[in-house]
Amino acid sequence: MPSLLLKLDPARDLVLEREVEVPPALVWAAWTKPEHLSRWFAPDPWTIPTCEIDLRPGGIFHCVMRAPDGKEYPNVGCYLEVASEERLIWTDALLPGFRPATDPLSTTIVALEAHEGRTRYTVTAMHPDEARRLRHEEVGFRRAWDAALDQLASYVTSL
């Protein structure tokens, strides 16, 4: 999808921009293979006991996060755009197969750009309204995504 179609709104959206020391091919692999994603996506000490990826529009993205107390938080949605090593878009507003969900939080866009062997990495979370943007911010959007990205870089370097 041409990026001009994405219309961001500071009142409803959250954005994290960083550069990481690994190339886009490795970041892409980390994002798109369950055996990789489950190793870095949950900020330590949380873990990911279940991860399912069907990498095509309408395909499932299902990820269970387990808290240190053992409680599990499932997330399920579907992919909307899969542009290899460039952009991955998914949403929890639609279940796999594009069925509308009942209580959406966000559509997430992970954008990658090669830069001298490193990756310019941008995560954008678009919410239906300001209340949900605030809720997402308060549960630690920035801290969690920052920590996860550090874990990603460290994990893929060990591959």
Where along the sequence are the contacts to a second copy (CB under 8 A)?
1, 5-7, 12, 54, 56-59, 80-81, 89, 91-94, 96-102, 104-107, 109, 126-129
Q: Which is nearer to a second copy, 2 or 45 (CB)?
A: 2
Kindly state the smallest distance separating residue 113's Cβ from a second copy, in Å: 20
Q: Which is nearer to a second copy, 102 or 158 (CB)?
A: 102
Beta-strand pair 87-91/107-115: antiparallel
What are phi and psi for residue 121, nearest 5 degrees? Answer: -120, 120
Kindly state the smallest distance separating residue 39's Cβ from a second copy, in Å: 27
Q: Which is nearer to a second copy, 34 or 128 (CB)?
A: 128
Kindly state the smallest distance separating residue 3's Cβ from a second copy, in Å: 10
Kindly state the smallest distance separating residue 21's Cβ from a second copy, in Å: 30
Instruction: Locate 57 and state its tokens.
Output: 């529009």
State the first-to-last Cα distance of the chain, in angstroms, to the nearest integer. 31
Q: Which is nearer to a second copy, 9 or 19 (CB)?
A: 9
Q: Which is nearer to a second copy, 1 or 159 (CB)?
A: 1
Q: Is 92 exposed, middle or buried (0-12, 13-18, 19+ CB in 10 A)?
A: middle
Cβ atoms of residues 145 and 16 within 8 Å: yes
- The C-alpha atoms of residue 54 and residue 78 are separated, in whole angstroms, by 8
Q: Is 81 exposed, middle or buried (0-12, 13-18, 19+ CB in 10 A)?
A: middle
Kindly state the smallest distance separating residue 13's Cβ from a second copy, in Å: 8
